[in-house]
Structure 1
Amino acid sequence: MTATAAVDAVLPPITAGRVHRWGGARLIVARAHELRRAPQLSPAERRVLGALPAWRQAEWTAGRLLAKRLVGEAVSGPADGVEVLPRDDGSPRVLVGGSPVPALHVSISHTPGYVAAALAPQPVGVDLCEFASAGAVRRVADHFLSPEELSLIGGERPDALAGAWALKEAAVKADRSGVFGAAPRGIPILGLRPPVLGGRRRAAVWRADDAALALVLAEPGG
């Protein structure tokens, strides 16, 4: 079995640059270096961007570009009328024509090489984790994975470790909590092939070239 085939056995591939649909959600992942067009930003978005450190601005802008594309398709309107602004807890929210759209939930993720966004009618989380980060994930695995989860995942496979991290991160994003602290331990991984999480959550994980991409949909109150 080739290395690519071995990874595919755990994480099925997903095509970059195209909008995918899964479980009622819209999802897109792109290679960061291929996103050359800047989105139209509102004055409020420009204020948020200007407050970020320089190294964060490019990835923040790329995430908004993808999120605005998804919202524009969902509401059948121009992406220029869409705003994606942070809540007090830092999670993104959607506004169209200056008005919040509580029926649309958005999540954004980025790594040095990739950017992803997801949109759904229910709480949603998306996360990317490059396989090259597996060593760092392994060093903190005891803090977010139980012994049972580590045994289930297999602690030596970079793709599985990246997939587990992305799953946990996507899940806490859907819950609007954080990956550090007690929250990740409260969302057990019950399966990786296919991905199954505890609670009223649905999950999927794909391979975007050399990164794991996870999507989690959470039922409100679940």
Structure 2
Amino acid sequence: MARRPGSPTTPFLSPAERRVVHALPAWRQAEWVAGRRLAKQLVHELLSVPEADVEVLPREDGSPRVLVFGGPAPTLHLSISHTAHHVAAALAPEPVGVDLCGTDSAAAVRRAADHVLSPGELSLVGSDRPEAMAGAWALKEAAVKADRTGIFGPAARGIELLGLRPPVLGGRRRAMAWRTGDTVLALVLARAASSPGLPA
């Protein structure tokens, strides 16, 4: 996770990435650019390729995909999240999701929580713990990103939140969460059913 820069400068973006960022609302452009900059740095560090040869473009479902030298990098899974002040990116050989949620968003999250959290999960989170509400939301959001499904609808309710400290999710998922200041960062790795060493 990094602090988001204030300026949406784009010299490191490809023409295709510039088209995407210019189509976004002005308020979202700096966040989008910061996320792509961080993602390109991660790919550069992992594969030792120049950042200029890395593109991060949206799939049809909106999730980010990595292209290196103009072609897809099929063994890399990427997830990006940003808030007004922070950006996070995760790169892994298996499906991964990352999400940031500010504790100042807890009231808004609570209003939408019935669509995402079960009654049991709401009991686990409690009503007067903004950091727990932000953490629960970030974990669910990271999980649906790893699964490449949406936060609203049946997918999020189908991912069971079993614990917050430490974070535990149902299914074939490993979860981690950190709090920095007023922001919770969640990371979820989702293994496919064919992953070796895991029961079917």
- CA–CA distance in structure 2, aligned partners of residues 164 and 94 of structure 1: 28
- Cα deviation code 1:81-129 (max 9, x no counterpart): 1100111111000011001001011000011111111100011100000
State the Cα RMSD in Å: 1.6
1:131 is aligned to 2:103: yes
- Cα deviation code 1:12-62 (max 9, x no counterpart): xxxxxxxxxxxxxxxxx1122467864611111111112212222111101
Correspondence for 2:94 among 122, 142, 146: 122
- CA–CA distance in structure 1, aligned partners of residues 146 and 190 of structure 2: 6
Q: Which residue of 2 aligns with 1:10?
A: none
- CA–CA distance in structure 2, aligned partners of residues 44 and 37 of structure 1: 15
Correspondence for 2:121 among 131, 135, 149: 149
1:108 is aligned to 2:76: no
CA drift of 1:80 comes to: 1.4
Any conservation in 1 of the 2:82–2:88 contact (CA below 8 Å)?
Answer: yes
Matches within 5 A, 1:42-121: 42-121=14-93
- Cα deviation code 1:145-194 (max 9, x no counterpart): 11111111222101000000000000000011110111110001011111
Letter in 1 for 2:25: P
Q: Which residue of 2 aligns with 1:215?
A: 187
Any conservation in 2 of the 1:39–1:65 contact (CA below 8 Å)?
Answer: no
Correspondence for 1:205 among 169, 174, 177: 177
Matches within 5 A, 1:155-170: 155-170=127-142
Any conservation in 1 of the 2:8–2:30 contact (CA below 8 Å)?
Answer: no
- CA–CA distance in structure 2, aligned partners of residues 39 and 152 of structure 1: 46
Q: Which runs of 5+ in 1 are unaligned?
A: 1-28
Any conservation in 1 of the 2:174–2:189 contact (CA below 8 Å)?
Answer: yes
- % identical aligned pairs: 70
Q: Which residue of 2 aligns with 1:186?
A: 158
Q: Which residue of 2 aligns with 1:14?
A: none
CA drift of 1:131 comes to: 0.5
Letter in 2 for 1:156: D
Which secondary structure does the structure 2 equivalent of 1:196 belong to? Answer: strand
Any conservation in 2 of the 1:125–1:216 contact (CA below 8 Å)?
Answer: yes
Q: Which runs of 5+ in 2 are unaligned?
A: 195-200
TM-score (norm 2): 0.92
Q: Which residue of 2 aligns with 1:22?
A: none
Structure with the bigger RCO (C-alpha within 8 Å, sep 6+) is 1
Number of equivalent positions: 194
Letter in 1 for 2:41: R
